[in-house]
Amino acid sequence: MEHNNTEKHGGSYTTLVLVWIGLLALTSITVTVAGISLGQYTLFVALLIAAVKSGFVINIFMHIKFEEPIFKVFIAVSGITLFVIFLLTFFDFIYR
Amino acid sequence: MINEAANPGEKSFYQVSTNKHTGILSWLLTVDHKRIGIMYLIAILSFFLVGVVIGLFMRWELMFPGKTIMEAQTYNTLFTLHGVIMIFLFIIPGLPAIFGNFFLPIQLGAKDVAFPRLNLLSFYIYVIGAILVLVSLFLPGGPIDTGWTFYIPYSIRTSTNVSMAIFAAFILGFSSILTGINFVTTVHRLRAPGMTWFRMPLFVWSTYATAWIQIIATPVIGITILLVIIERAFGVGIFDPALGGDPILFQHLFWIYSHPAVYIMILPAMGVVSEIIPTFSRRTIFGYKQIAYSSLAIAFVGYLVWAHHMFTSGMSDTSRWIFSLLTFIVALPSGVKIFNWVATMYKGSIDPQVPFLWVMSFIFLFSIGGLTGLVVGALATDVHLHDTYFVVAHFHYVMFGGTGTIFFAALHYWFPKMFGKMYNKRFAVISVVLFFIGFNMLYFPKFILGYMGMPRRYYDYLPEFASLQLVSTIGSWILAGAIFFVVGYLIHALYKGKKATANPWGGVTLEWHIASPPPMENFHEIPTITHEPYDFSQLKEMKYGE
Ligand code: HEM
């Protein structure tokens, strides 16, 4: 549709490359952390990093940051649902 | 047969092709939402009838103790196939794909859905998924025998064709997602001028809520299925405890989709009820906003209760009481709807036509299904009843008595609009009555049998269960008789039925303002909406009656 937007907002190659490098860095942190024993917190740290990464992908690569509010609402609803599902699953995972 | 002009000089959508082809190709390559809806109707109804026939065979086997007509292994594959067909090919796509496709755009005052081509694509994905199910039956290894829930570890270890069959479910999921995306976009973008959110008919509201579940929940089952296939093919230990996996994780993932999926099944049905009751009570719906919001509420809280299918699976005690509590809370928004429907009828001038009778039998059957749901939703009783016939009775009452009954209600309500023909109403009344009697004879004994300890998915049973099993089998003949009778007189009506008028029931939502069958692109010009959806004062200006 409005592809000019891509050029205008945050579409600059510098930003995209920076985000990409950021994502790679976070990936290597995930891998490194997996080797360190954090006990109970291993999973939480991994999930936190994954959440930050998807935040970047959704906002920049998927362009949601520059879209109408309605799309943000959509993403938020899906995100909240996912969060609730995770939360409820943890009641089994932690207390089993 | 049906493709006569609706009004003199006006061509119906049967007579105008959306592409350069005529004949069968004008259907197979159509992008018209109404034609796609009818193609879905034919496909889904056929699979439903196949499922019914399989059900009849199972009941035949269960008529007497011991082997009656088939081996145990055949029974295992039959209940699996019956479950897979009924769930993935009939009840999940049923109402949205057929009636949603046909009526959602019309009720919004639009010419089509937002993405007509995508709509056709999702139909073909459905067909491909269905073909894969069929192919999986004939490949070496034999038909899948895991039950429709594909539980680990058996589904990893059995030598039957699990991968192919569940891959079919994976494909079918895409059809569901695409339909969901299409409907959400249509509702947001294609409402006619004046069609504000709170002027949308409640069928649209419920289809909209359903579409959201289709989009958000379906990917979960997709990923789960892929994980099972990977585990089967490469022996990666994800779910199988022998390989270090967690079988309960599979159950979580399976039900994170499949529980919201029961709301994919029931929400559109509730929408249809909210259309039919005002029309035949000549009264605006009681509590429009509450019903609209309760659809969204059900769609959301539907995500919070999945583990009530797993009370006896060995998950943590904390989860068990949390999910039991949440399950009781979910009953509330459904209660809101039942209350509103009954309040709508109160002091209305009720005209008990055929669709209304189907809805009455829905309210009865669905209430039994819903209330017994609370029995299995309570921890202590579920330990006794889990995996018995009580559950089989419960889910047939909600799915078949609920959504299945409304499938027939919707078919009878909208048949004159879709095909421009009226069916024989006396036959129709007889069939509702037979359906109702057969249904209760078939499934009510299963509550008692389950309470007495008859396990589900068994092809044989103890002698003390024999008399109730026999009653149930006789019930299945009456029920199936009613269903085939319905199909018979509806097909007859297509050819020989009286011509239907534009508004035979005195409905006021937009589909009743246009010809039967509707013209191509529905409206000559996009209407401007000035009324509330169920404002029956409009009837004075509209012509209606047969
Ligand atoms: C005339 C119609 C029908 C008959 C005679 C029938 C009969 C049966 C029987 C005998 C079973 C197996 C019980 C057991 O051994 O555990 C069964 C299971 C089942 N039925 Fe039906 N049924 C019918 C319609 C439906 C409909 C309309 C639906 C869905 C909307 C449905 C969904 C299921 C499911 C999901 C199962 C469980 C399969 C499994 O255990 O994996 N059935 N049905």
Residues whose CB falls within 8 Å of the CB of residue B458, separated by 6 or more in sequence, listed in order: none
Cross-chain residue pair B316–A96, CB shorter than 8 Å: yes
Query: What are the structure tokens assigned to B499, written together?
Result: 């011509």
ipTM for the complex shown: 0.84
Chain A interface mutation, best of B316, B323, B326, highest count of A Cβ atoms under 10 Å: B316
Please tell me the predicted confidence (pLDDT) of residue B16.
87
Spatial separation of the C-alpha atoms in residues B23 and B17, rounded to whole Å = 9
Query: What are the structure tokens assigned to A93, written together?
Result: 């995972």
3-class secondary structure, B200: coil
Q: Which residues of B touch A84 (CB under 8 A)?
A: 303-304
Question: If pLDDT is split at 50, 70 and 90, which confidence band does A3 have?
Answer: very low
Cβ–ligand 1 contact at B91 (below 6 Å): yes
To which residue do tokens 């004939």 refer?
B138
Q: Which residues of B touch A68 (CB under 8 A)?
A: none
Q: What is the mean predicted confidence (pLDDT) over A32-57?
A: 88
Closest residue by CA, ligand 1 atom 43:
B55
Cα of B402 to ligand 1 centre, how many Å? 14
Q: Which residues of A touch B216 (CB under 8 A)?
A: 77-78, 81
Q: Quick check: B422 and B286 in contact, CB under 8 A?
A: no
Report if pTM > 0.90.
yes
Q: Quick check: B340 and B286 in contact, CB under 8 A?
A: yes
Domain boundaries, chain B: 35-542
DSSP conformation letters of B142-181 = -S--S-TT--TTHHHH--SSHHHHHHHHHHHHHHHHHHHH
3-class secondary structure, A2: coil
H-type alpha helices, B282-404: 288-301, 317-345, 354-377, 379-385, 389-395
CA of A14, closest CA in chain B: separation in Å?
A: 33
Closest CA to B363 of B391, B384, B335, B390: B335
Residues whose CB falls within 8 Å of the CB of residue A26, separated by 6 or more in sequence, listed in order: A49, A52, A53
Please tell me the predicted confidence (pLDDT) of residue B5.
40
Asked, as a colleague might, if the bond just before B260 is cis with ω within 30 of 0, I would say no
3-class secondary structure, B506: coil
Spell out the CATH class of B35-542: mainly alpha
Query: What are the structure tokens assigned to B335, written together?
Result: 């209660």
Which residues 36-75 on chain A approach chain B with CB closer than 8 angstroms? 70
- By CA distance, what is B252's nearest residue in A? A89
Residue B114 is given by DSSP the state: S
User: Consecutive sets of 10 residues in chain B, 546 residues long: mean pLDDT of each?
Assistant: 48 87 90 96 97 97 95 95 96 95 96 96 96 91 93 92 94 96 96 94 95 93 95 92 92 95 93 95 90 87 91 93 91 83 89 96 94 92 95 97 97 96 96 98 97 96 96 98 97 94 93 93 90 89 71
> Do you know the residue count of chain B?
546
Closest residue by CA, ligand 1 atom 29:
B86
CA of A4, closest CA in chain B: separation in Å?
A: 22
Cα of B450 to ligand 1 centre, how many Å? 15
Closest CA to B210 of B125, B91, B325, B290: B91
Closest CA to B507 of B267, B208, B203: B203
How far, CA to CA in Å, does B497 sit from each of B1, B223, B423, B494? 9, 47, 6, 6
| Terminal CA-CA length for chain B | 19
Query: What are the structure tokens assigned to B495, written together?
Result: 């050819």
Pick from A70, A85, A96: which is nearest to B256 by CB?
A85
Burial class (CB in 10 A: 0-12, 13-18, 19+), A46: middle
Q: Work out the widest C-alpha separation in chain B, in whole angstroms.
A: 71
Chain A interface mutation, best of B220, B249, B318, highest count of A Cβ atoms under 10 Å: B318
DSSP conformation letters of B1-34 = ---S-SSTT--BTTT--SSS--THHHHHT---HH
H-type alpha helices, B63-147: 72-84, 94-95, 101-108, 116-138
Residues whose CB falls within 8 Å of the CB of residue B527, separated by 6 or more in sequence, listed in order: B109, B192, B510, B513
The answer to whether A12 contacts chain B (CB < 8 Å) is no
CA of B213, closest CA in chain A: separation in Å?
A: 10
Best substitution site from B44, B86, B90 to test ligand 1's pocket, by max atoms within 8 Å of Cβ?
B86
Q: Quick check: B279 and B505 in contact, CB under 8 A?
A: yes
Give residue-wise pLDDT tens across range A60-84: 998 888 888 988 998 998 899 999 9
- Helix (H) / strand (E) containing A73: helix A69-95
The answer to whether B212 contacts chain A (CB < 8 Å) is yes
Spatial separation of the C-alpha atoms in residues B403 and B426, rounded to whole Å = 23
The values of phi and psi at residue B239, to 5°, are -115, -30
Closest CA to B31 of B96, B103, B95, B115: B115
Q: Quick check: B113 and B101 in contact, CB under 8 A?
A: yes
Domain boundaries, chain A: 13-94
The answer to whether B319 contacts chain A (CB < 8 Å) is yes
- By CA distance, what is A93's nearest residue in B? B316
Please tell me the predicted confidence (pLDDT) of residue A42.
83
Query: What are the structure tokens assigned to B31, written together?
Result: 């992008």
Cα of B396 to ligand 1 centre, how many Å? 7
Cβ–ligand 1 contact at B147 (below 6 Å): yes
Which residues 124-153 on chain B approach chain A with CB closer than 8 angstroms? none
3-class secondary structure, B416: helix
Angle at B144 between CA B143 and CA B145, to 5 degrees: 115
> Do you know the residue count of chain A?
96
Cα of B358 to ligand 1 centre, how many Å? 21
Closest CA to B127 of B188, B43, B229: B43
Best substitution site from B54, B82, B446, B449 to test ligand 1's pocket, by max atoms within 8 Å of Cβ?
B82
To which residue do tokens 């079918």 refer?
B172
Cβ–ligand 1 contact at B113 (below 6 Å): no
Q: Quick check: B231 and B240 in contact, CB under 8 A?
A: yes
Bridge partners of B519, per DSSP, are B12
Please tell me the predicted confidence (pLDDT) of residue A55.
93
Cross-chain residue pair A78–B216, CB shorter than 8 Å: yes
Spatial separation of the C-alpha atoms in residues B56 and B478, rounded to whole Å = 11
Query: What are the structure tokens assigned to B151, written together?
Result: 């539980």
CA of B105, closest CA in chain A: separation in Å?
A: 21
Q: How far is CA B383 from the centre of its chain?
A: 29
